[in-house]
Structures are given as structure tokens and as C-alpha cells.
């Protein structure tokens, strides 16, 4: 399947479904959309969706974070915005925040993103069971599908190691 098409389909899982059945941005004044130097990683192949969408509010660059697939080292793409976007075109990382996929001894788990503890009141206060059930289910379904791809799995192993550094710092999960 074409990566751009796949991500555009996955985006739709989160057009109407959000972490809790309320506007959580009202709790924190959209804390996760502030800090324009942070950016969000795009998942492998996701940048191709932006080649189609071509929005003017996003800037995509190579990050320093890499993974190796089929003997080739690849830079993970990172997207920057100015704190405003078309919500129907926002990246997958924004749609699933404050949850994230994580490989636990080779097994996919959906966890609270340890990078979110410092900014997101939901990540600080809720357990996974407290999030909207359909939100958690859609996050899981999206990554069950993506992890069928060998390159995505290579990425996810590196990404999980990267998350573990934050977990150690926050002593959670």
C-alpha cells in the first residue's frame, strides 16, 4: 500500500476521536502545541502524505534521530509548526498525543508518552484506562497495522529505546 494513502486513512481515525470526550486543550491552553523549537517526529513514510497535502503551516526536516533498516541508516523526519494547523491535516504524533507506541520486549504496547509528563495534564493525571476507550482502541489499531511493516518495526525499536531514556528520568511506566 502507498504510504501517503495509508497515513491519510489513519488520520481519519482521529478526526473526531480525541483523548477524552471534551476539549482537553481548554485544560492547559493547548500546551502541546506550544514551544515551536520542539517539533514532532513523523513516522516512517508519513512525510509522503505531506507531499500530497502540501500545507503552508508545516516545515519538515531531517532530525538527528536515526534508525537502520536493510543496512541503511535513515534520519527520522521532524515536523515544525507555528502552533496553528488545520486539524484535519495534523501529523499522527499530534493525533495520538499523549499516548505513543512502545515495543516492550518485542511486543507492541500503547503507553502514555513519557515526554508528555512534563506538559500534559492528561498524561500526568490519567492512567491508560481513563482515556476515551475508542481513542485508545484507534491508537492501538493504527500501530498494529503499521507494525506489520518491517521498516516501521526497525524504527519502533530505536524509538522505544529513546522513550526509555525519558521513562528512566520520570521513573514511570
Which of 160, 148, 170, 165 lies closest to 105 in space, CA to CA?
160
The stretch near ligand SF4 (CB under 6 A) out of 26-34, 63-71, 137-145, 158-166 is: 26-34
CA pseudo-torsion sign 98, 99, 103, 109? positive
Cβ closest to ligand SF4, residue 119 vs residue 167: 119
How far apart CA 66 and CA 11 sit, in angstroms, is 24
Cβ closest to ligand SF4, residue 18 vs residue 149: 18
If binding is defined by CB under 6 A, does position 13 make contact with ligand SF4?
no
The rounded radius of gyration (Å) of the Cα atoms in the chain is 15
Contacts of 20 (CB under 8 A, 6+ apart): 122, 126, 131, 132, 135
> What phi and psi, each to the nearest 5 degrees, are found at residue 64?
-80, -10
Site residue total, ligand SF4 (CB under 6 A):
21
Minimum gap (Å) between residue 69 Cβ and ligand SF4: 26
Contact with ligand SF4 (CB under 6 A) among 15, 59, 121, 150: 121
If binding is defined by CB under 6 A, does position 96 make contact with ligand SF4?
no
Contact with ligand SF4 (CB under 6 A) among 44, 45, 98, 101: 98
- The DSSP letter of residue 34 is -
Contact with ligand SF4 (CB under 6 A) among 11, 14, 97, 135: 97
Residues of this chain that bind ligand SF4 (CB under 6 A): 19, 24-25, 27-28, 30-33, 81, 83-85, 90, 94, 97-98, 119-122
Amino acid at each position: 500500500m502507498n504510504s501517503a494513502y495509508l497515513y491519510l486513512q489513519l488520520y481519519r481515525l482521529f478526526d473526531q476521536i480525541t483523548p477524552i470526550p471534551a476539549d482537553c486543550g481548554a485544560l492547559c491552553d493547548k500546551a502541546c502545541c506550544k514551544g515551536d523549537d520542539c517539533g514532532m517526529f513523523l513516522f516512517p513514510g508519513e512525510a509522503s502524505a505531506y507531499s500530497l497535502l502540501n500545507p503552508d503551516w508545516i516545515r519538515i526536516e531531517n532530525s538527528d534521530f536515526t534508525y537502520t533498516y536493510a543496512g541503511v541508516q535513515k534520519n527520522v523526519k521532524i515536523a515544525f509548526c507555528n502552533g496553528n494547523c488545520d486539524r484535519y491535516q495534523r501529523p499522527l504524533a499530534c493525533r495520538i498525543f499523549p499516548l505513543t507506541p512502545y515495543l516492550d520486549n518485542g511486543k507492541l504496547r500503547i503507553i502514555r508518552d513519557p515526554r508528555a509528563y512534563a506538559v500534559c495534564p492528561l498524561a500526568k493525571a490519567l492512567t491508560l484506562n481513563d482515556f476515551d476507550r475508542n481513542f485508545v482502541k484507534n491508537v492501538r489499531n493504527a500501530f498494529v497495522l503499521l507494525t506489520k511493516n518491517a521498516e516501521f518495526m526497525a524504527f519502533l525499536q530505536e524509538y522505544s529505546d529513546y522513550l526509555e531514556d525519558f521513562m528512566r528520568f520520570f521513573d514511570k511506566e
